[in-house]
Amino acid sequence: MDTLTLNNDVAMPALGLGVFQTPPDETRAAVEAALRTGYRHVDTAAAYGNEREVGEAIHASGLARDDVFIETKIWISDYGYDETLHGFEKSAAKLGVEKVDLLILHQALPSAFDRTVEAYRALERLLDEGRVRAIGVSNFMVDHLTTLLEKSTVVPAVNQIEVHPYFQQRGVQAFGVEHGILTQAWSPIGGITFYRDGSHGSTLDDPVIGEIAGAHGKSAAQVMLRWHLQRGRSVIPKSTRPHRIAENIDVFDFVLSEDELAAVDGLDTGRRGGPEPTDITLERFGRPIPEA
């Protein structure tokens, strides 16, 4: 497994298992399958409602705690300094750990950005106390990052954003490169383009990607994951099917040429599949995160 070095020198496996929209009763089996296959990085979130099952699978694996990189997220309902500290306690208890490897803010909250900043200050405290190894953000655009950097002391290690061949957010990625913030791609094979809005078309059926896949004897999904990795991004593909979980990690034995990388780069439509970051409000998206 390749690793990426974060801006505070923490090593993170480049590819992990995502569990977004994975029902709790399927999460444990998916994580167990991933760990058996060789995954050593799991990305979850308080809002997913499956942190407990992620923790159970990791503990049942027999792997040493330090061998598995655990990433989770604070939901907007728990933003604010004290609220976020408590949000961490809830997540850590559900995961059954004392320390989280990467803790990030799940969304910017533009309508209450002061609360977002206070939440990030809480992450800085947790980092300083050694309760988390790295901190970051998710779905932050350039203006959110700019303001956050002006009001904080620790540069986020990661910005987890929607990135796939049909939506690449190059401006956000470039800002991250400039400031040492690693881009982590959610929906890295473009699943959101066909399960949320079918008008995008499916990246899995894209002829450009299909031709590259055929040339390498790989699947379209494997080509997309390899494209991300060679462009220096972290990826967290999700699946509950053991054969897909195994397929997604089998991407370290081939290399795309510069022409092939450029061909995938050229597929960007500029159309977002997920919600607009500016639309995130407590009124629309806030919901209580249960206690542990």
Q: Which two tokens stand for residue 72?
A: 């989770």
Amino acid, single-letter form, for residue 221 = A
Distance in angstroms (rounded) separating the CA atoms of residues 96 and 159: 25
CA geometry: angle 24, 29, 30, nearest 5 deg: 85
Q: How many CA atoms lie within 13 A of 160 on its CB side?
A: 28
CA geometry: angle 168, 77, 31, nearest 5 deg: 60
Beta pairing partners, 238: 18
The answer to whether 264 touches 165, Cβ cutoff 8 Å, is yes
Range 169-178, long-range pairs (CB < 8 A, 24+ positions):
170/268, 171/142, 172/140, 172/141, 172/142, 172/145, 173/233, 175/142, 175/145, 175/146, 176/145
Q: What angle, rounded to 10 degrees, do the helices at 113-128 and 142-151 form?
A: 60
Q: Which two tokens stand for residue 37?
A: 């296959």
Annotated active-site positions, please? Answer: 48
CA nearest 157: which of 133, 174, 129, 191?
133
Distances (CA, A) of 74 to 33, 41, 242, 288: 26, 18, 28, 11
CA nearest 181: which of 163, 161, 156, 160?
156
